[in-house]
Structure 1
C-alpha cells in the first residue's frame, strides 16, 4: 500500500499567514501540522509516499526532504493549480500504479493516527473506505448519507441542506477502481474535480464503498480557530520538561516544556505551554495553550491560547489571546494618543469621570 498526501492548496482561509508560508507547515505544538500526518502514515506501516505540491512546493520539499527522517520514501508530484482532491489522484496515476493507497489531506489533524483503519483495509479490502465523523455544521464539508443498513448510499459536497451530520474526514482508502472514477467525473461548479463526485461514481457503478465513523479528535486546520483548537489538543498531552535557562524569579505552573537555549526571566508561565529553542521571555506572562516557537522574543507582555511563529518579537503588549502570529513579526504598543472629554453641562451639575 502507498500513501498520497495532498499539500497543494493555497490556504486562503489562513491568510495572511499563507501569503508567505504553506498552510501545511503552520505549526501546532511547535511542529508543522503536515508532520503529524507523515508520522501517522509511517506508524501505519506505509513507506512509499507521494506528496502533491503546488505553488509552495519548494518550502514543503525543504521541510520534508526525502522523507527519511520519518522513515518514508517521498516522491513529489507537481500540481500546477489547486483543481480539487480528485485531480490530485488523477495526476498521481503513474506513482500509484495498481496499488491500494491511503489518501491523506496534508492539513488534517487526527488524534490516534490511522493505523487501525489501514490495518482493517489490508485485512478486508474494498474499492473505497471513508472515514466519517459527526460535525455540528456539515454544510462546510463533504457529507455522507447512510441507508438503513448503515451502508453509504450517497455523497454530497458542501450541501446547502445536508442529509446527515456525517462529514468526510480528510482520510480515504482506495483500491485501483478510483482511477476510473476520477477520469469519468467532470469539474464541479467551482471548477474542481471533487473527490466526493468520484466516490459517488463508485457508488453509482455498484462498487464496494464502506465507511468507518470515528469518535476521536479530528480537525481540518483550515482556519485560525481550527489551528488554535488543534494546538490546544496537542498541548493537552504535553509532558513537563525544562531544558532552557529559567531564573529564580520565574514561576512555572503545570505542564510546561522549555527547549534548550531558551531564556526565561522574571516571568510566569502557566501550562500547558511550550517555549521553543533560543526564545527569550522576560517580565511576561505566558498562559495556557500557548505555543512560542524558536527564537521568539517576548518582553513585558501577556499572551495565552495563541501560536507565535519563529523569530517574532512582542514587546510591551498585554493582553493577547486567541491569536496566530506569523514569522518575524514585530508587535509593539501604538503611540499614546491624547484623550479628552467634551462636556456641555448645565448649572449646578455634578460629574464624576474615571
Structure 2
C-alpha cells in the first residue's frame, strides 16, 4: 500500500503564516497538519504502508524534505519526494509521483483532516471519502445510486447534483488503472475549467466498470484559512484530550492551564491563564497573559496579552502595551 500526498500549493489563503513554511507543516495540536493526516490514515489502514510520496514545490527546501521523510518513517514507511513545478490540476500533479501508482494506493490532500471510526475495506475497487455540506457548489461532489455506489463525479457544480462533497481522501485498489486515466487526460489535453481534473479521471474509471463507494467520516476538518485552522486545532485537542499534552519539559510558574491544551518542550508559562483549546509550541514564552482558543508556534514571546481565536507564527515577539484611554458612554472598543 502506497500513499500519495500532493502538497505543492503555496497556501495563499493562510498568509502570512505560509510565507516561510508550507501550509501542511503548520501545527495542529503540536504536530504538523500533514503529520496528523498520515497518522490518521495509518489508524484506519489494515495493511502495511510501504511508501509515502510527498509532491512538493521545489522551493520548500531540504529541511522540509527531511521532515517529511521523518513523518513517513514514524508509520514504518519510506518517504519519497517529488517536485511539482507548475499547477495544472490534480491529475497533472499526481502524475509527478506516477511510479507509486502500483496496486493499492491512497491519495490524500494535505490540508484536510478527519475523524473516523472504521477500518478501510481494501477489497473495494475504490472508496471516496465524502461529507454532507450545505454549499456543494464549492466542492467536487458525488452522486449515488440506490445501491450506495458512486455513479457520477462533478467538480464544483453550478446546479444541484448532490450535497456529498469529496473531502480529499481516496482509496484505489488498482493504482495503475488510475494513473493510466490521468495520463490519458494529459496526452489528449482534456481539460475542464482550465485544468486536468481528477474527477474526470475518476468518472472515466467509473464508466469502465470500476465500482466506487462512499466512505463517510464523522467529522471533516479544514485548514484552509486562519479561522478554520484555529477551529481545527480546537477540535483536534478535543479528540486527543486523553493524551498527555503538556510536556514535562515545560516550565509553569504561577500558571493555570485549562485543558485541553498542548504545551511543547521548553515552553515557559508564567503569571498567565492558558486555555481551553490552546497550542503552544516548543521554546515559546507566555507571560502575564490570558490566552483562549489559539495557536502559538515555536520560539515566540507573548506578554501582557489577551488573545482569542489567534494564530501566531514562529519567532514572534508580541507585547500588548497598557493604554491611556478616555472612553465615553455607549462605546465599544475591540
* Interval containing the TM-score (normalised by the shorter chain): 0.7 to 0.9
**2: CA distance between counterparts of 1:188 and 1:326?**
37
Contact 1:3 1:104 in 2 (8 A): yes
Please tell me whether the aligned partners of residues 271 and 289 of structure 1 are also in contact (alpha carbons under 8 angstroms): yes
The one of 197, 201, 217 equivalent to 1:198 is 201
The residue correspondences of 1:287-298 to structure 2 (distance < 5 A) are 287-298=275-286
| 2:214 is the counterpart of 1:212 | yes
1:88-108 deviation per Cα after TM superposition (whole angstroms, max 9, x unaligned): 222222333x42311111222
* 1:115-162 CA distance string (max 9 Å, x none): 722xx12xx242x32111212232221111123443222212222333
Tell me the TM-score normalized by structure 1. Answer: 0.82
**1:309-354 alpha-carbon deviations (Å, 9 max, x no partner):** 0011111112x1111111111212257466477xxxxxxxxx999x
Could you tell which deviates more after superposition, 73-82 or 218-227?
Answer: 218-227
SS at match of 1:284: strand
CA RMSD in angstroms comes to 2.4
Q: Quote the residue 1:140 is aligned against.
A: 138
Q: Structure 1 stretches (4+) deviating beyond 6 angstroms?
A: none
Q: Which residue of 1 aligns with 2:103?
A: 99
Match status 1:308 vs 2:296: yes
Q: Which residue of 2 aligns with 1:12?
A: 12
The correspondence of residues 54-203 of structure 1 with structure 2, limited to 5 A, is: 54=57, 55-65=59-69, 67-96=72-101, 98-112=102-116, 116-117=119-120, 120-121=121-122, 124-126=123-125, 128-174=126-172, 175=174, 176-185=176-185, 186-189=190-193, 191-203=194-206
Q: Which moved more, 1:146-155 or 1:45-54?
A: 146-155
| Corresponding residue of 1:331 | 318
Q: 1:200 deviation in Å?
A: 2.0
Post-superposition offset of 1:199:
1.3
* Among candidates 225, 228, 235, match of residue 227 of structure 2: 225
Q: Secondary structure at the match of 1:17?
A: coil
Structure 1 counterpart of 2:55:
52
Structure 1, unpaired ranges of 5+: 242-256, 342-350
Higher relative contact order (Cα pairs below 8 Å, separated by 6+ residues): 2
Relative to 1, partners in 2 of residues 1:152 and 1:352: Cα closer, same or farther, differing over 3 Å? Answer: closer
1:178 is paired with a residue whose SS is: helix
Q: Which structure would you say has the larger Rg?
A: 1
Aligned length: 319
Distance 1:324 1:155 in 2: 36
Question: Runs of 5+ in structure 2 lacking a partner?
Answer: none
Deviations 1:38-80 (A, max 9, x none): 2244442212221111132534313123532331111111111
Q: 103-112 or 328-337, which moves further after superposition?
A: 328-337
Change (3 A) 1:265 1:85: same
Q: Could you tell me whether the CA contact under 8 Å between 2:49 and 2:75 is conserved in 1?
A: no
Cα shift at 1:282 = 1.2
